Amino acid sequence: MNFELTDEQRMIQEMVRDFAKKEIEPKAIEIDKTEEFPVETFKKMGELGILGIPFPEEYGGSGGDTISYALAVEEVGKACGSTGLSYAAAVSLGASPIYYFGTEEQKQQYLKPLASGEALGAFGLTEPNAGSDAGGTQTKAVLDGDEYVINGSKCFITNANFAKTTIVTAYTGKDERGKNIISAIIVPNDTPGFSTTKMVDKMGLRGSDTAEIFLEDVRVPKENLLGDPKRGFSQFLYTLDGGRISIGALSVGIAQAAYERALAYAKERKQFGKSISSFQAVQFKLADMAMEIELARNQVLKAAWLKDQGKPFGKESAFAKLFASETAMRVSDQAIQIHGGNGYMQEYVVERYLRDAKLMEIGEGTSEIQRLVIARHLGC
């Protein structure tokens, strides 16, 4: 593969970097403190076409590719982890499944508003008793005439309080082997019986909306079923494979921000009559940080490239998500260490990177699940 970016990919990267520096980064500290979702920022992102990067123009998108999208997530995440997570979830989870598996009618009705930035989407998978074990989904959808009636609940759902539509996974019956059939259904958030509650007091990513969803006799047309009703489980596994690329990119962005802060501080901070960047102990930390970030970025881009080429990318996306998320944690931790006591203070920002990075090891499949996914690809 060729890691040389195309002119279009560089243009998108520079455009998003410039926007993130001017519009996103200045708000990062405030939204972390207040837990306020940056509504206006997402409106501007929509107007610039950032929310539609990986989708064709015919569906309201920008006609870019997965590499361009990964570069954009990194730049947004570098400026603000909270905004980066909501951006990644809106595109990879809220909109992409409709593009991958939706009918032409579903794409026209539901994907266009999401890709054009007119609305946000969400993906309701996790439940109180179905996290890593997504097959244990208890939310149930029963066909009643021409409608599905859905009952259940979801938790830890990104963007749900601000989304126009949510793709909900639900148990719809048994297959010939007696196993649960998990299907995906598009649910407009204004459907009667559908409600959300904000989950607050998070450790990090506090400006990203996290919600509980409650579905009480929610009725949607049977035409809202997404893709093959018997392949809902494999469909959301494919969705998660793509989502792991974006979480890997977001992790790289957080790590890059932490590294740049640490490097600048090391050059400015004087001890024993000289900057601490001249001490080998600090130099080695910075060298390891830079190396791991570059390796993580390369793995994210490799997974994105494979996806763009239509090649299998599940193992590589798990590599990317696992290594990049753990890199973000290590780099953020070392950035605090380089700052010493100042690193423990919110004034110096680096403590936020560590708090934000922790979710990277949990969301879109924990580090333990990534290792399980990788082992299965190895034939274990």
Calpha distance 68→304 (Å, rounded): 9
Q: Please state whether beta strands 165-174 and 121-124 pair in parallel, antiparallel, or not at all (unpaired).
A: parallel
Q: What integer pLDDT is reported at residue 230 of this predicted model?
A: 74
Calpha distance 80→30 (Å, rounded): 11
173 SS3 class: strand
Calpha distance 86→122 (Å, rounded): 9
Query: pLDDT digit string (tens) for 169-188?
Result: 999 988 888 788 899 999 99
Q: What integer pLDDT is reported at residue 2 of this predicted model?
A: 54
Are 294 and 243 in a shared domain? yes
**Is residue 138 predicted with pLDDT exceeding 90?**
yes
Read off the tokens for 260: 């740049």
Are 116 and 69 in a shared domain? yes
In a domain, 359, yes or no: yes
Are 213 and 254 in a shared domain? no
Identify the CA nearest to 72 among candidates 90, 97, 59: 90
Q: What integer pLDDT is reported at residue 235 of this predicted model?
A: 86
176 SS3 class: coil
**86, 120, 154 - which closes a domain:** 120
Are 309 and 360 in a shared domain? yes
Average of per-residue pLDDT across 105-130? 95
Q: For the chain, how many structural domains are there in total? A: 3
Question: Using an 8 Å Cβ cutoff, are 120 and 90 in contact?
Answer: yes
Question: Using an 8 Å Cβ cutoff, are 286 and 266 in contact?
Answer: yes
Query: pLDDT digit string (tens) for 192-239?
Result: 999 999 999 999 999 999 999 999 999 999 999 999 877 777 888 899
| Confidence band, pLDDT 50/70/90 cuts, at residue 134 | confident
Question: Using an 8 Å Cβ cutoff, are 84 and 253 in contact?
Answer: yes
Average of per-residue pLDDT across 239-253? 96
Q: Identify the CATH number of the domain in which residue 305 sits.
A: 1.20.140.10
In a domain, 211, yes or no: yes
In a domain, 260, yes or no: yes
Are 190 and 312 in a shared domain? no
Are 241 and 374 in a shared domain? yes
Are 342 and 361 in a shared domain? yes
Only one residue has tokens 């996306």, namely: 317
Phi, psi (5° rounding) for residue 375? -60, -40
Query: pLDDT digit string (tens) for 148-176?
Result: 999 999 999 999 999 999 999 999 988 88
Q: What integer pLDDT is reported at residue 179 of this predicted model?
A: 83
Query: pLDDT digit string (tens) for 287-339?
Result: 999 999 999 999 999 999 999 999 999 999 999 999 999 999 999 999 999 99
Calpha distance 5→49 (Å, rounded): 20
**53, 86, 120 - which closes a domain:** 120
Read off the tokens for 324: 């990049």
CA distances from 17 to 45, 89, 102, 142, 295 (A): 12, 19, 32, 46, 21
User: What DSSP string describes 78-130?
Assistant: HH-HHHHHHHHIIIIIIIHHHHHH--HHHIIIIIHHHHTTSS-EEEE--BTTB
Residue 294 annotated in active site: no
Other beta carbons within 10 Å of 177 = 5
Report the half-sphere exposure of 229 (CA within 13 A, side-chain side): 13
| DSSP at 179 | P
Element (H, E) at 147: strand 147-158
**Is residue 118 predicted with pLDDT exceeding 60?**
yes
In a domain, 1, yes or no: no
* Total-model pTM: 0.96
CA 69 to chain centre: 11
Are 35 and 87 in a shared domain? yes
Identify the CA nearest to 158 among candidates 129, 196, 101: 196
Query: Which range marks the domain in which residue 262 is found?
Result: 234-378
Average of per-residue pLDDT across 69-86? 98
Are 192 and 133 in a shared domain? yes
Read off the tokens for 304: 């994105």
Calpha distance 47→117 (Å, rounded): 6
Catalytic residue from among 75, 212, 326, 364: 364
Are 302 and 337 in a shared domain? yes
**Is residue 113 predicted with pLDDT exceeding 80?**
yes
Q: What integer pLDDT is reported at residue 1 of this predicted model?
A: 56
By residue count, the chain amounts to: 380
**120, 147, 166 - which closes a domain:** 120
Are 38 and 94 in a shared domain? yes
Q: Identify the CATH number of the domain in which residue 196 sits.
A: 2.40.110.10
| pLDDT, averaged across the chain | 95
